[in-house]
Amino acid sequence: MALVPCQVLRVAILLSYFSILCNYKAIDMPAHQTYGGSWKFLTFINLVIQAVFFGICVLTDLSSLLTKGNDSQEQERQLRKLISLRDWMMAVLAFPVGVFVVTMFWSIYIYDRELVYPKLLDNFIPPWLNHGMHTTVLPFILIEMRTTHHEYPSRTSGLLAVCAFSVGYILWVCWIYHVTGVWVYPLLDYLGSGARIIFFTTVTAIINSFYLLGEILNSCIWDTQKCMQEGKEKPKLE
């Protein structure tokens, strides 16, 4: 039996994301006042994705509790739709984008933090908030994967959805540069046109690989548990 029910964990995680988003939006940073505001940063978009996802998880838990013991087919149908939306968001957005943000941020930060998180930002963003945006996302999403089985879509449709998100964000970054003449991330200033194309292609491939990683992890965790349960239920031969 779990020490903390998964429903309680989801509520706690959702509240933590609300706190992070509120504190982040309250920061008076010059970058928030320029074209695109906070929405030009993948970190902020990811925080919104995670908050919406865990909000749907909590709503699913509440709906499941309310429909328990209820014979209404309409309520059951609505609950299944909610579960399908939750699973789709986990597969296509929450896991691949969340893992991408954490791994890419800290990989570049360790190499040269000025390329992704200049020291100037330390004057605006406290360390706890930085970790809330770039670190805790990973354990939170792994906890959700470990506590709940998520039905993944077909691999083709899942990868197409991930590609659509990636290309959409890349086009958004390029549009911001077209309008302002400034790249959202300092790293892009050091790359030529050809190198940027390679970089964007590589980024898209990495996010797609994280989608596949999520699919494999989800399958491994829940197939293993299913096998263990079947082993316990199997009668012993005398």
Collapsing DSSP to helix, strand or coil, 33 comes out as helix
Interval 171-177 mean pLDDT: 95
Q: Is the Cβ–Cβ distance between 172 and 40 less than 8 Å?
A: yes
Query: What per-residue confidence (pLDDT) applies to 1?
Result: 39
* In the predicted structure, residue 75 carries a pLDDT above the cut 90: no
Please give the structure tokens belonging to residue 81: 């739709």
Calpha distance 65→54 (Å, rounded): 16
Query: What per-residue confidence (pLDDT) applies to 235?
Result: 47
**Sequence-distant (≥ 6) Cβ neighbours of residue 2 within 8 angstroms:** 147
Q: Give which of 125, 102, 122 is closest to 25, Cα–Cα.
A: 125
The mean-pLDDT minimum among 138-142, 162-166, 191-195, 228-232 falls in: 228-232
Calpha distance 106→215 (Å, rounded): 23
Please give the structure tokens belonging to residue 34: 């320029």
